[in-house]
Amino acid sequence: MTSVYYAPQPSPLLEMRGISKRYPGVVALDNVDFDVRAGEVHALVGENGAGKSTLMKILAGAETRDAGQILLRGQPVHIDSPQRAMDLGINIIYQEFNLVPHLSAAENIFLGREPAASIPGFIDFRRLYREAQQVMDSLGVSVDVRTEAGQLSVAHQQMVEIAKATSRNSVIIAMDEPSATLTEHELQNLFQLIRSLRERGVGIIYISHRLEEIFTIADRVTVLRDGHRIGTHPVEAMDRDTVIQMMVGRELAHSAPKRATVCGDAVLEARGLARHGVFRDVSFTVHAGEVLGIGGLVGAGRTEVARALFGADPLDAGEIRLRGKRVRIRSPRDAIRLGIGLVPEDRKTLGLILNMVVRENVTLANLDLLSLLGFVNRRREREATEQYVRSLRIRTPTVEQEVRNLSGGNQQKVVLARWLFTDSRVMIFDEPTRGIDVGAKMEIYGLINDLAARGVATIMISSELPELLAMSDRVLVMHEGRLAGALSREEATQERVMHLATGGE
Ligand SMILES: Nc1ncnc2c1ncn2[C@@H]1O[C@H](COP(=O)(O)OP(=O)(O)OP(=O)(O)O)[C@@H](O)[C@H]1O
Ligand SMILES: [Mg+2]
């Protein structure tokens, strides 16, 4: 008889065993096991509110656990603060940025470990800037590291976060939706960086709602649902459908629903809009019932045009017409009064009031209207909110939960619900599905289609080409602050949009 010898499995680099965490009314994690090997990319996926960020915060010492154990190279470790986690070589790129807005990008990258000058207590700024610039350059990002972090675009803030975590000596790096704000080019740089970290034996945890990224970069995949671990498998053993099935526990429609559009009259006309140094010569028309897509690279000026239409930034030139009548929009208040709504890209600063509850946030834009009538109708507010919580599958114990306690994707859904609740005649969506799980994306596409069917004129900015092409009746492409072209639904292909977005004729 031959005896079989099993080589002992080397213990993983990191093991999290039996991790549980509950919040009032929510079991965020229930007895979750998770491990990471040296030199692997372990993807962590699940619907909004599944518990991904909570697991990462526990690993990073930013959140306490109710039960469970963490082992590093087989040894139990006690991670009771973010500093302790960093000392152990565990670095996290948080989903919600942690940059200090009035410090430069360079100071943020080297916060707490700035190179000392020869005079004690002083920072060697020349070295700081030089080394920070090297890190950013290696990421392929053209950002002056002396710029204040608060002045940078969301995408560039994200790259500073990435630079901050990856420039440290890391054993484990967890990336909580690092790609949400990045475009294709920046994403490729990030993947290159991840591959070189992997070669150096770093264990990488990668969270993303874009499944194609998971199949490009991950070695193993763990799926969480409602705080439970559903399974862990090598990526070769899975395909898109099995991952989705595990995430949502049900079958899903495959692509954005198509609809037959009947475009009505011109609703919003932009003529020669300009903001010095940001965009110029921007003219277009959106019709009732039309979805006008705007594509382009990060920094092309799309968000800035949206903000100007909404009165959040001033215009230096041009005019806006609503149903043929010239209007002045000096503030978001003016825009709301005229029936223009904006679901912003950056939910942290423009979207939500974090210490207000879900119901108040959903009904916020309408408060003017409700209070004009002399009262706030709590019951109507609550009913409407509950309806959106159901249709958008917002994971919250009640509509009276503070928005700060919701997961990132669920906060985004609250912003959407608010604008769906207002009866705007023009809706501008800036990256409406960023950070939103696959199931809820389909719901959002359905809701945008419903708005169009009701005759709302819709502008949708999106960096996700498949979504842009599936949803838009026409696609405008911006490049360096100007309109590079307009494509009909039939003309719009990924190649054509990319060609225009990168400056091709
Ligand atoms: N401080 C808190 N207080 C109350 N509930 C919380 C708190 N933090 C998280 N939760 C809840 O725990 C659950 C898990 O949230 P978590 O942020 O881990 O989800 P996630 O998987 O990262 O989702 P997303 O994809 O939207 O980022 C959610 O229901 C969330 O509302
Ligand atoms: Mg999260």
The DSSP annotation for 259-287 comes to: ------SEEEEEEEEEETTTEEEEEEEEE
Say which ligand is closest to the CA of 49: 1
Q: Write down the pLDDT at residue 252.
A: 61
Q: Is the dihedral of CA 431, 433, 436, 437 positive or negative?
A: negative
H or E element, residue 483: strand 482-488
Count of positions (residues) in the chain: 505
Alpha carbon of 207 to ligand 2 centroid (Å): 8
CA distances from 166 to 14, 25, 135, 281 (A): 18, 36, 9, 40
Sequential pLDDT tens for the chain (505 residues): 445 555 555 679 999 999 999 998 889 999 999 999 999 999 999 998 999 999 999 999 999 999 999 999 999 999 999 999 999 999 998 877 778 888 999 999 988 778 877 777 778 889 999 999 998 888 878 889 999 998 887 778 888 988 888 888 889 999 998 887 777 777 888 898 899 889 989 999 999 988 889 999 999 999 999 899 999 999 999 998 899 889 887 666 655 565 666 678 999 999 999 999 999 999 999 999 999 999 988 778 999 999 999 998 999 999 999 999 999 999 888 898 899 988 887 666 556 777 788 888 887 755 555 454 445 567 777 888 898 898 888 899 999 999 889 888 888 888 888 888 777 899 999 998 888 888 888 888 888 898 898 899 999 999 888 889 999 999 999 999 999 999 999 999 988 998 898 887 6
Q: Write down the pLDDT at residue 228.
A: 95
- Name the residue of 20, 21, 23 whose CB sits within 8 Å of the most ligand 1 atoms, as the mutation to test its pocket: 23
- Ligand 1 and 409: CB distance under 6 A: yes
Q: Compute the distance between CA of residue 67 and CA of residue 21 in angstroms, rounded to an integer.
A: 7
Q: Compute the distance between CA of residue 488 and CA of residue 400 in angstroms, rounded to an integer.
A: 44
Q: Write down the pLDDT at residue 150.
A: 87
- Ligand 1 and 51: CB distance under 6 A: yes
**How many C-alpha atoms does 431 have within 13 Å on its Cβ side?**
25
Q: Compute the distance between CA of residue 282 and CA of residue 295 in angstroms, rounded to an integer.
A: 14
Alpha carbon of 73 to ligand 2 centroid (Å): 26
Cα Dmax for the chain: 92
Query: If DSSP states are collapsed to H, E and C, what string results for 336-402?
Result: HHCCEEEECCCHHHHHCCCCCEHHHHHHHHHHHHHHHCCCCCHHHHHHHHHHHHHHCCCCCCCCCCE
CA dihedral 380, 381, 386, 387 (to 10 degrees): 60
Q: Which two tokens stand for residue 65?
A: 């656990």
Q: Is the dihedral of CA 270, 276, 281, 282 positive or negative?
A: negative
Interacting residues of 277 by C-beta distance below 8 A, sequence separation 6+: none
What residue owns the CA closest to ligand 1's atom 25? Answer: 48
Interacting residues of 439 by C-beta distance below 8 A, sequence separation 6+: 47, 244, 247, 248, 252, 393
Residue type, 80: D
Q: Write down the pLDDT at residue 121.
A: 75
- Ligand 1 and 422: CB distance under 6 A: no
Say which ligand is closest to the CA of 435: 1
Q: Compute the distance between CA of residue 34 and CA of residue 41 in angstroms, rounded to an integer.
A: 13
Alpha carbon of 387 to ligand 1 centroid (Å): 21
Cα angle value 106/110/113 (rounded, 5°): 145
- Ligand 1 and 408: CB distance under 6 A: yes
How far is residue 336 CA from its own chain's centroid?
A: 25
Q: Are strands 474-479 and 317-322 parallel, antiparallel or unpaired?
A: unpaired
- Reference 214, options 177, 162, 181; nearest CA is 177
What residue owns the CA closest to ligand 1's atom 3? Answer: 405
Q: Is the dihedral of CA 186, 468, 466, 500 positive or negative?
A: negative
Q: Write down the pLDDT at residue 350.
A: 55
Specify the 3-state DSSP secondary structure of 492.
Answer: coil
Neighbours of 122 (CB within 10 A): 10
- Ligand 1 and 48: CB distance under 6 A: yes
What is the atom index within ligand 1 of the atom nearest the CA of 47?
A: 25
Enumerate domains of the chain plus CATH numbers: 14-248 (3.40.50.300), 266-501 (3.40.50.300)
- Ligand 1 and 222: CB distance under 6 A: no
Task: Note residues around ion ligand 2 (Cβ under 5 angstroms).
Answer: 53, 95, 407-408
Alpha carbon of 414 to ligand 1 centroid (Å): 14
Specify the 3-state DSSP secondary structure of 503.
Answer: coil
What residue owns the CA closest to ligand 1's atom 27? Answer: 408
Phi/psi for 382 (5° steps) reads -65, -45
H or E element, residue 459: strand 457-461
Alpha carbon of 275 to ligand 1 centroid (Å): 39
CA dihedral 95, 349, 180, 427 (to 10 degrees): 140
Alpha carbon of 185 to ligand 2 centroid (Å): 24
Neighbours of 66 (CB within 10 A): 14
Say which ligand is closest to the CA of 46: 1
Residue located via tokens 């697991």: 55
Alpha carbon of 408 to ligand 1 centroid (Å): 7
Buried b (16+ CB within 10 A) or exposed e, 26-54: bebbbebebbbbbebbbbbbbbbbbbbbb
Alpha carbon of 199 to ligand 2 centroid (Å): 27
Say which ligand is closest to the CA of 439: 1
Q: Which two tokens stand for residue 59?
A: 């690993």
Q: Is the dihedral of CA 453, 458, 462, 466 positive or negative?
A: positive
- Ligand 1 and 433: CB distance under 6 A: no
Residue type, 201: G
Alpha carbon of 57 to ligand 1 centroid (Å): 10
- Ligand 1 and 311: CB distance under 6 A: no
- Ligand 1 and 109: CB distance under 6 A: no
